[in-house]
Amino acid sequence: MKEKKPLILVSNDDGILAKGLKELVSFVRPYGDVVVIAPDSPQSGMGCAISASVPIHYREIHKEEGLAFYSCSGTPADCVKLAKNIILDRDPDLLVSGINHGDNSGVNVHYSGTVGAAKEGCISGIPSLAFSLCNHDEDADFSETKGYIQQFVELALSEGLPDWTCLNVNFPYESGYKGIKVCEQATGRWINELEPCPRMGDLNYYWLSGNFRPHELNNGKSDYTALKNGFVAVTPITVDITARNYIDKLSSLLQREK
């Protein structure tokens, strides 16, 4: 009997036409059968959102031996749900999301549709990796990411990942990466987040923009710092967001109120 190749599911949040998606597909194709299902339009900033109030649909774009492309009307998380429940005939061995055109380090993980797809895969029990390049250019050069991405793919396929854990991988803007650093997620806040647009009639319009101000207590161990110093930053993240260090204190405070 012919041994089945690993099944690799690919998604993103920049949409089915994004260069980063096409590059990622070419990087992972040597490792198995690849099925791509990505939003039919850009879905940046959608996080883990799902289309709870409207139906979604998908369309086959291209299919050949070992490779298929589908577009989906929904969010990145919708794409993963649709793939797992409707399109695929078996569970994927790996999910890869990206390559995002832009930084998804720090608190950006909570907004990122690229990471949202990986989290959805993680919730579904699929080893999942999210990849982002700190460059918003539509024609960004992803060539230097190839060897690193393949290293992470080989690791995930051979060793798996812990339950409820996925990897968030960010590549610096400048080429000449200095290596990989396993990092904590940077904490911090966005400041000056809204930029006024010209008024339209009686309404005020704003673009989301802003600058990220990292928290000084990251002690140089964060993904933000690693990227600034030219390293590929990989952060293991979990879908369990319980603040365990506050459980006992909160229980004590609530008992005191009785």
pLDDT at 209: 80
> Do the domain assignments include residue 82?
yes
Question: Largest alpha-carbon pair distance within the chain?
Answer: 69
Residue found under tokens 């990466």: 177
> Do the domain assignments include residue 28?
yes
Query: In this structure, what token pair is assigned to residue 8?
Result: 């690799």
> Do the domain assignments include residue 202?
no
Q: What angle do CA 51, 234, 126 make, to 5 degrees?
A: 45
- The alpha-helical segments, DSSP class H, found in the chain are 19-28, 76-82, 113-123, 146-159, 223-228, 247-256
Q: Residue 7's beta-bridge partner residues?
A: 33
Domain ranges, residue 15 = 7-187+217-256
> Do the domain assignments include residue 193?
no
- Which CATH number goes with the domain that contains 86? 3.40.1210.10
> Do the domain assignments include residue 146?
yes
Q: Which residues contact 64 (CB under 8 A, 6 or more apart)?
A: none
Q: What is the pLDDT of residues 162-213, one digit of tens each?
A: 999 999 999 999 999 999 999 999 988 888 778 888 877 888 888 888 787 7
Confidence of residue 2 (pLDDT cuts 50, 70, 90): low
According to DSSP, the β-strands at 232-238 and 165-171 are antiparallel
CA distance 98 to 38: 10
> Do the domain assignments include residue 197?
no
Q: What is the pLDDT of residues 26-73, one digit of tens each?
A: 999 999 999 999 999 999 999 999 999 999 999 999 999 999 999 999
> Do the domain assignments include residue 196?
no
Confidence of residue 160 (pLDDT cuts 50, 70, 90): very high
The whole-chain average pLDDT of the chain stands at 94
Among 186, 174, 175, residue whose Cα is nearest residue 220: 186
Confidence of residue 254 (pLDDT cuts 50, 70, 90): very high
Query: In this structure, what token pair is assigned to residue 144?
Result: 């230097």
Among 3, 41, 11, residue whose Cα is nearest residue 115: 11
User: Cα separations (Å) of 68 from 186, 244, 253?
Assistant: 36, 42, 55
| Contact status, residue 29 vs residue 9, Cβ threshold 8 Å | no
> Do the domain assignments include residue 29?
yes
Q: What is the pLDDT of residues 81-102, one digit of tens each?
A: 999 999 999 999 999 999 999 9
Q: Which residue has the higher pLDDT, 206 or 235?
A: 235
Domain count along the chain? 1
